[in-house]
Amino acid sequence: MTALTLSTAGAATLRADALVVGVAKAAGPKGGLVVAPGAEAVDKAFDGKLAAVLATLGASGAEGEVTKAVSPAGLKAPFVLAVGLGSAPADDEAYASEVLRTAAGNAARALHGIKKAAFALPIEAAEDIEAIGEGALLGAYAFTAYQDRGADAKGPLAEVALLGAKPRDKAHKAAAERSIALAEEMNRARDLINTPPNDLTPEAFAAVVSAAGKEHGLKVQVLDEKALEKGGFGGILGVGVGSENPPRLVKISYTHAKNAKHLAFVGKGITYDSGGISLKPAGHNETMKCDMSGAAAVFAAVVAAARLGIEVNVTGWLALAENMPSGSATRPGDVLRMYSGKTVEVLNTDAEGRLVLADALWKASEEKPDAIVDVATLTGAMVLALGDHTFGIMANDDAFRTAIHEIAEESGEQSWPMPLPANLRKTMDSPTADLANMGVRMGGGLVAGLFLKEFVGEGITWAHLDIAGPAFNEGAPHGYTPKGGTGSSVRTLLRLAERTASGDLG
């Protein structure tokens, strides 16, 4: 894991292997390139001509742009890396947190193989330290566990020194600590998502959670297949029955010393989704190791909340199963009796995530938390509706849905509120069972949300995050987002816990 430090050293005097500065497009009709605050000493070493040098090298200040320049004699670092920040803000405004986070991520990715980099980006408040720290630590992520890289292989950027920060300032120190805890747990989630399914079975996932529980003093309870059968968890068992790797329901609990409010996070954890008997076609199953991204996010958020000592009680429920076809697998047309007692006719075994979540939601509801949020790579319909970078939010309370949307945007995660139209509920009516696991195809993401709503305890505020789009990046890396598992929704869940602790959510 990349180390993060706060440094009071000057940009010109700090010994580092690279020096990161920000550049932007100047406001006004003339435009041009300007050096962002934080890099004054670097500009001075270039005799005030840093912007001109970078412009000559092709820099425009556009977001995502990275330009390298050899350092002059006045700097200890051998080269300067300029990252684009987009349009420069007005004189009375600061750079947005997401701009700084993305720029730091771009820089960290470009500095792969470097031991130490000094970041001289704009810092006006503790929030800027947090954003830059997050972006750098997330951007430096690399998953190499299964690669024979040899002794000479280059690793991720090893150390980030943030210049302009104050190590003894409580707010600055807290911001750095938060960025470290969040990034480390997000990167743990990414590791889990990227791990091949032959190694990350439900049992193996549960073991990782148990180990983390011991490390951070969290209570972990694992229900194996025998306990699930005894307890009547028909949804989880119905999905996992076709696999040689039996399912698990994992509970991980963080309890604050004070009598705090209680949040329950529920995560879909299908460690591999073949579709079951309703088998996915070729081209749609190669990345299905990522179908446990919701459980990974919930796990990461609970551990991060514990590491930061947030004054809130958080319980994570991880519904873990492998969805495979076999002679023992659930068939289309089978009826499952869920943990809640309701019966569900399974019309499509590839709509399995809602089945495991239903049992976990009802179990979570028994503890009467103040709110429940479930997270799942649930439907392709949501990807079609919102694309690859945005997750959908559904809820049984409009104010709660709005609050989560605002929290997500504040955290740098793209999201969009979605409705739960009552007329779509009828399309899940079954002549055989209480309801079916499928409804009409159009609006499939909303139908899935309505299905889950059926398994939330009465009077409990609930939201559903469908992260099917942003959970796994099949394209090129960008900003602080790598190829593969992203850790989508972890930041939103953690910020929700913080806002709940502060009383902002009632």
Which residues does the annotation mark as catalytic? Answer: 280, 354
- The three-state secondary structure class of 366 is coil
Q: What is the DSSP letter of 481?
A: B
Handedness of CA 269, 416, 483, 411 (dihedral sign): negative
| The two three-digit tokens of residue 223, written as one number | 């229900």
Distance CA 455, CA 342 (A): 9
Bridge-partner residues for 393, per DSSP?
417, 465
Distance CA 365, CA 252 (A): 15
In sequence order, what are the residues at sequence separation of 6 or more whose Cβ sits closer than 8 angstroms to the Cβ of residue 18? 77, 78, 79, 80, 81, 111, 114, 116, 117, 118
Long-range pairs, 212-216, Cβ under 8 A, ≥24: 212/188, 212/252, 212/299, 212/303, 213/252, 216/303, 216/306, 216/307
Please give the backbone phi and psi of residue 295, each rounded to the nearest 5 degrees, phi first. Answer: -65, -40
Distance CA 501, CA 38 (A): 34
Distance CA 400, CA 125 (A): 29
* Residue 33 Cα to chain centre, angstroms: 34
| The two three-digit tokens of residue 301, written as one number | 């958020």
Pairing relationship of beta strands 79-87 and 116-120 according to DSSP bridges: unpaired
Q: Which single residue is written with the structure tokens 């306990």?
A: 227
H/E element holding 105?
helix 97-110
Identify whether the C-beta of residue 373 lies closer than 8 Å to the C-beta of residue 265: yes
